[in-house]
Structure 1
């Protein structure tokens, strides 16, 4: 006998949903005298309403209509000041039906409607109206929408307006809506580095604004000076300052002289330039008008192809000059002055060579400023470079060294402004995720393993007597990892081979050029096994050298996994059975050993031999 409910098969028709009828029927009560018990007076028009409906839909009206004051008296009439009748009618329609038609309303009514939603605390309605306005922005309305968004602290809408104005700055300055901006909104807009109009256009627009508001009681001489101070005079030509600014009388001769002096005595890149801002998008593309203006084999650099390159094609290049000679490098001209803080480079990486280089930016192609200097460091493959935001028109990459020949090869260049968080220390990127990975361009340059880069493949489970580790003979050689670029590191983590109860001793050094090494961890007097989490004072590093000094089983040092910085989102336990606590000598007092016990499902019948000399075979474990 079935235990199922006899009506369960009728699920598809058991839920009755007549919300549309409810909305329509309540909508018939809007502005209806029948059953109404309160009347609102707006711009001389009467709007009968029903307390219980308004109170149930809006906290503001609940407090107004049931607070014991005169508004809560039966048949009360309530006058609403500073409210437009058409917008209030739309609001009542929304409160009764949950619907409002914004596309058929005039812009000024929609803005008043937004004001009512904000005043009455109707946040879902406010958010929906903001989204509609964001999608409906135009040159003609963006200023008034921005003014209201600023007034009501609607940050998302205000940001959308700023982005729109930045992209079409000259047109916005010429629009009538610009003249109606409040002083606060006006200054916030034109002071942005990303408001990319010419200074002449900004000056003329601000002059019109002052003239348009001349009869405003708030527009005194101090306000005019505050507004005109937003003009970046040193960015104007001498002819513009003399023939456009001086005749207006809005700025004093001293202001002009100071600007002329600043322009004549400052480097071009020290001036406060403006540039377009396009977040999270590579602007070094032909789509954005970028072009390679210097360098050999120009066509490959900006084509977006980062896969198809070899010894003969797919890269741009330039000869590496001797130090002290002029460097033309590989130079890209962006489509327009732009704000960037992030550059990605792909150095040619079809073999094990490394390069050194620096990156400069310029506005005029003459005055250059270093933003990245890796001229003394060895780098390879993808370079993720971050710096303080700069306005620039030109980007130049200059190679200073190639470990194979005297040519610098660059496969790809990307420029952008990123809002993703990043941390710089002494000019070096401080990574939060593991950068010692194959996708990040890291590689093992010294050490013996059955498979290349086994140390960096992220596999911390599949290793045994035969495979899954990298090793070196004690007393000779080391295990060396090269990162793609120098990073500021303060931790690393490694897994020593732990399929039996042996322990190891070792030390770790870092370098940026493989010539000068700094010892960061000394565990030569400590019996260590399994997981090692090592903390140390921050050091710039692109090479990490792990040198084994002792193995209780044989004369080979074995490491299964390496990462930096240490990813501490795994459970670790300090110390291990049979091992000493970390030493406290001066070179290792900041290093801490952690062990994550590993259970093996099966083990070889006999222990590995410790008498062999070659570390490349499993029996020498």
Structure 2
């Protein structure tokens, strides 16, 4: 093996050492800069609610603030404190806002932090209102995501009202989907009486809000009592009377006096016929739909029996009017799919023609 001259080796080693030294110095400089940035951020954070160097005070509680920082973080405060408004010449400015929510906004302005997990939903809504007023889009987005992740039957109404008011489309969609999936519990909860008329109309117009129609009607009656100054005719026009039983129409709807008798009798005629009813339906691809939940069709019915048998398959929405799908031969221990044409179904009935049915496995899957 040929050896390199000593001088070249030394130069090469020096070159490598110098590169390593320069790299180490560069990394050290970057680390120092990072420390400086963290120090600056920490210093600004310490100014929050601190009277040191303050040059502006907010609200009756005299919350301390700093013009340059407020103006740099919000166009609203930039215009307020450095524009042509009277507040630009005042040491103290008055804002008619919730103090607790404004403290949260101040903390965000000074530190980029939002302690949402420590706040109740109503307080978070207050912060959302201020964020919208002050043009803090990042705060609006963060609050929208947090609320969507923490939806509950007890808070979804107030969140939906706020989402619609401030045009938060993604949060609105999340609230409506949550309501679809929790409709029965929601109709029983007192919070639904806080739902705005516009939001209620949107909810009732959705095909996927497939709650029992008589419960929807009862909830609307209670909502009308709590909101006497609202025009409720458009809301009641969204109630689908033919989806109720005749008993409900005669003993729940008719005594209320909300609908004229001829409208109720027309609904009774539709119930008796049992066809082309205005069902509320939803599609659930990939789920086994053999439950009592109304479905949008078509779907595939899969039958598996322990012995070969001929079965008759019928479907219904009310267990009174049954539509025959047809007869199917199910071979021994094999799966036999049955494609059902588009229709709305709540109940599936399988009856044996050739012999008894034992150990029947049944699945209903939506077919796209």
> TM-score by structure 1 length?
0.46
Do the aligned partners of residues 70 and 243 (structure 1) sit closer, same or farther apart at CA in structure 2, a change above 3 Å counting? same
Q: Is the CA contact (8 Å cut-off) linking 2:300 and 2:367 kept in structure 1?
A: no
Do the aligned partners of residues 13 and 276 (structure 1) sit closer, same or farther apart at CA in structure 2, a change above 3 Å counting? farther
Spell out, residue by residue over 1:260-314, the C-alpha distance to the aligned partner (whole angstroms, 9 max, x if none): 23333551xx211123554xx4122xxxxx4xxxxxxxxxxxxxxxxxxxxxxxx
Does 88-97 or 191-200 show the bigger shift?
Answer: 191-200
Q: Does 1:415 align with 2:368?
A: no
Q: Which runs of 5+ in 1 are unaligned?
A: 285-289, 291-333, 347-358, 371-382, 397-411, 419-621
Q: Which residue of 2 aligns with 1:247?
A: 255
Helix, strand or coil: the match of 1:283?
coil
Q: Is the CA contact (8 Å cut-off) linking 1:145 and 1:161 kept in structure 2?
A: yes
- Tell me the distance in 2 between the aligned counterparts of 1:47 and 1:369: 73
Q: Which residue of 1 aligns with 2:109?
A: 95
Helix, strand or coil: the match of 2:238?
coil
Spell out, residue by residue over 1:531-570, the C-alpha distance to the aligned partner (whole angstroms, 9 max, x if none): xxxxxxxxxxxxxxxxxxxxxxxxxxxxxxxxxxxxxxxx
Q: Does 1:56 align with 2:12?
A: no
RMSD of equivalent CA atoms: 3.4
- Tell me the distance in 2 between the aligned counterparts of 1:7 and 1:361: 80
Q: Which runs of 5+ in 2 are unaligned?
A: 1-11, 303-312, 326-336, 350-361
Q: Which residue of 1 aligns with 2:238?
A: 230
Do the aligned partners of residues 45 and 246 (structure 1) sit closer, same or farther apart at CA in structure 2, a change above 3 Å counting? farther
Q: Which residue of 2 aligns with 1:35?
A: 53
Q: Does 1:124 align with 2:138?
A: yes
Q: How does 1:196-275 map to 2 (within 5 A)?
A: 196-214=210-228, 218-219=229-230, 223-265=231-273, 267=275, 270-275=276-281
Do the aligned partners of residues 369 and 84 (structure 1) sit closer, same or farther apart at CA in structure 2, a change above 3 Å counting? farther
Spell out, residue by residue over 1:554-609, the C-alpha distance to the aligned partner (whole angstroms, 9 max, x if none): xxxxxxxxxxxxxxxxxxxxxxxxxxxxxxxxxxxxxxxxxxxxxxxxxxxxxxxx
* 1:65 to partner: Cα distance: 2.3
Q: Is the CA contact (8 Å cut-off) linking 1:337 and 1:363 kept in structure 2?
A: no
Q: Which residue of 1 aligns with 2:8?
A: none
* 1:98 to partner: Cα distance: 0.4
Do the aligned partners of residues 413 and 264 (structure 1) sit closer, same or farther apart at CA in structure 2, a change above 3 Å counting? closer
Q: Which residue of 1 aligns with 2:286?
A: 282
Q: Does 1:363 align with 2:317?
A: yes
- Tell me the distance in 2 between the aligned counterparts of 1:259 and 1:167: 27
Helix, strand or coil: the match of 1:68?
coil
Q: Is the CA contact (8 Å cut-off) linking 1:344 and 1:415 kept in structure 2?
A: yes
Helix, strand or coil: the match of 1:335?
coil
Q: 1:190 aligns with which of 201, 204, 216?
A: 204
- Tell me the distance in 2 between the aligned counterparts of 1:199 and 1:173: 11
Count of matched residue positions in the alignment of Structure 1 and Structure 2 = 317
Spell out, residue by residue over 1:17-41, the C-alpha distance to the aligned partner (whole angstroms, 9 max, x if none): 3455444432222233332222322
* 1:364 to partner: Cα distance: 4.9
Q: Is the CA contact (8 Å cut-off) linking 2:282 and 2:296 kept in structure 1?
A: no
Do the aligned partners of residues 343 and 63 (structure 1) sit closer, same or farther apart at CA in structure 2, a change above 3 Å counting? farther
Q: Which residue of 2 aligns with 1:158?
A: 172
Do the aligned partners of residues 395 and 102 (structure 1) sit closer, same or farther apart at CA in structure 2, a change above 3 Å counting? same
Helix, strand or coil: the match of 2:110?
helix
Spell out, residue by residue over 1:365-389, the C-alpha distance to the aligned partner (whole angstroms, 9 max, x if none): 755599xxxxxxxxxxxx9x9x98x
Q: Which residue of 2 aligns with 1:45?
A: 61
- Tell me the distance in 1 between the aligned counterparts of 2:25 and 2:318: 75
Helix, strand or coil: the match of 1:113?
helix
Do the aligned partners of residues 53 and 253 (structure 1) sit closer, same or farther apart at CA in structure 2, a change above 3 Å counting? same
Q: Which residue of 2 aligns with 1:312?
A: none
Q: 1:335 aligns with which of 281, 291, 303?
A: 291
* 1:110 to partner: Cα distance: 0.5
Helix, strand or coil: the match of 1:39?
strand
